[in-house]
Homo-oligomer: A and B are copies of this chain.
Amino acid sequence: MELERMGQLAKAASRSLMKLTQPEKNACLVTIARNLVDNTDKILEANAKDLENGIANNMPESLQDRLRLTADRIEGIAEGVRQVAALDDPVGEVLSMKSRPNGLMVGKKRVPLGVIGMIYESRPNVTVDAFSLCFKTGNAVILRGGSDCIYSNIVLVDIIKKSLEENHVTPDAVFLLEDTSRETATKMMQMNEYIDVLIPRGGAGLIRSVVQNATVPVIETGTGNCHVYIDATADVEMAVDIVKNAKMQRLGVCNACESLVIHKDIVDAVAPKIIATLKEKDCEIRGDEMMQSYDSYVIPATEEDYATEYLDKIISAKVVSSVDEAIEHINANSTGHSESIVTKDYDNAQRFLNEVDSAAVYVNASTRFTDGFEFGFGAEIGISTQKLHARGPMGLEALTTTKYIIYGNGQVRP
C-alpha cells in the first residue's frame, strides 16, 4: 500500500479509536496476547527467515540475539500486552475545569495524540510493545521497523490486525511499512498532514537522521552519556557500588554510566578501589593525568572521550576541584539523560539537583533506575532527552495531548 494512503486510513482510524471505551480497548489487547501465543509456530517460522538472512549478511551475534524470538520470549511479549491492558487509561481525564467571570467554563481534557509514527531498529518486541501502548491511549500507529526484522514484523502486525477485527475494531489502527527503504522513511517523516508525532527508537545514527529529516514533530529519545559524580564527602563504599552498578550492570543501555567525575579531596580514597573493581570486570578506563597516576591500567582520555556514549566496557574519568567544576563539566558533556551525585553534603546535593540540566538527576543512587517501570509508570515507550512535551521515561501520558473544552450559553467577546 502506498504511504500516503496509509496515512489517510490511519488518520481516519484515529477518529474512531478516540471513541472506543476502556473495556473495548482492553478486550482487543487481551485477544492480541492470546493470538500471539496461539501463533507461536508461525511467528518463529518468520523469525527464523529473518535470522537466516541476518546470518547470511554477517549480522553480529549481539544483534542476532536482539532479533531472535523463542516461545518464551513470545510469551513474554504477550504478557507485556496483558500488563498494558491492566494499566489505567489516562485518556478522557479532565485535568482542570474553571469558571471564568463571563460564565464560560474552560476545561482541559486529556485526549489521544492521533497518529503516531514509530521508527525503530531490529527488535520485534518493539513492534508489539509500541502498538499496545499507542492503542491503549487511543492512537493509530504507523510502524517502520528495520529491514532485518521484516518477516517477523509482518506476521506480528498481521496477528494484531486480525485480533482487532475479531473485536470489530478497525485494523487500520496499525500499519507496518513493508518498504523499509530510506526514501520511504524520509517521506514518512514529512507526512505532517497525517502523522501527529514521530518517536524514533534506536541508535544515535537513527535518531539523528529523524531529527534532521523530519518536519513532523519528533520526540527525541535515547542517547545517554550519563555521569556519576563522587563528591568530597561521599561514602566510599556506596560510591564504588554505584559506579560498578551504573557502568557494569548492563552495558548497551542508555542509562548506563559512561563518565565518572571525582572530587580531588576523595580521589585517593576511591580511585584505587574503583580502578580495581572495573579492571576486574575488564572495563577500560580513560582518565585524566590524576587518574592515570593511580594505575597504568588507566589510559589517557581525550576531550572527545568525555562526550562519548560508549555502550561498552569503557568509561571516561576526570578529577575536579569543586562541585561547581563537576556541574559545569557535566552540563558541557552530558546528553541530558541521567546523572548522579554521591555525597553526604546537603548543599551540594541540592545544588546538583537544581543545576544539572538533565532529564533525571539522582542523589546517592545508580543512574540505571531511569526507566518507566522503575519510576512506577507500568510502561515505557522510550526515554525522552529533549525538553518539549515529555522529558525522561515516557509512560502512557506521553502518548496523549490535551484539548480545551469550553461550555458557554451564548457568550460573545465584547
Contacts and interface: CB of A to CB of B under 8 A. Distances in A.
Nearest to A386: B217
Given A215-B211, A375-B100, A245 B404 contact: no
Nearest to A349: B407
Main secondary structure of the interface of A (DSSP, over half): mixed
A411 interface: yes
A363 B114 contact: no
Contacts of A100: 374-376
A323 interface: no
B249 A412 contact: yes
Nearest to A352: B405
A285 B352 CA distance: 61
Contact of A404 (B212, B357, B361, B411): B361
A364 B409 contact: yes
A380 to B, nearest CB: 13
A293 to B, nearest CB: 28
A106 interface: yes
B359 A411 contact: no
Given A106-B376, A197-B387, A388-B219, A359 B410 contact: no
Nearest 6 pairs between A and B by C-beta? A365-B408, A245-B412, A368-B413, A387-B401, A389-B389, A360-B404
Interface of A: 15, 18-19, 98, 100, 104, 106, 113-114, 192, 196-197, 211-212, 215, 217-220, 235, 238, 241-242, 244-246, 249, 331, 353-355, 357-366, 368-370, 374-376, 386-389, 391-393, 401-413
Given A104-B369, A364-B411, A388-B389, 4 more contacts: A98-B376, A106-B375, A369-B411, A391-B401
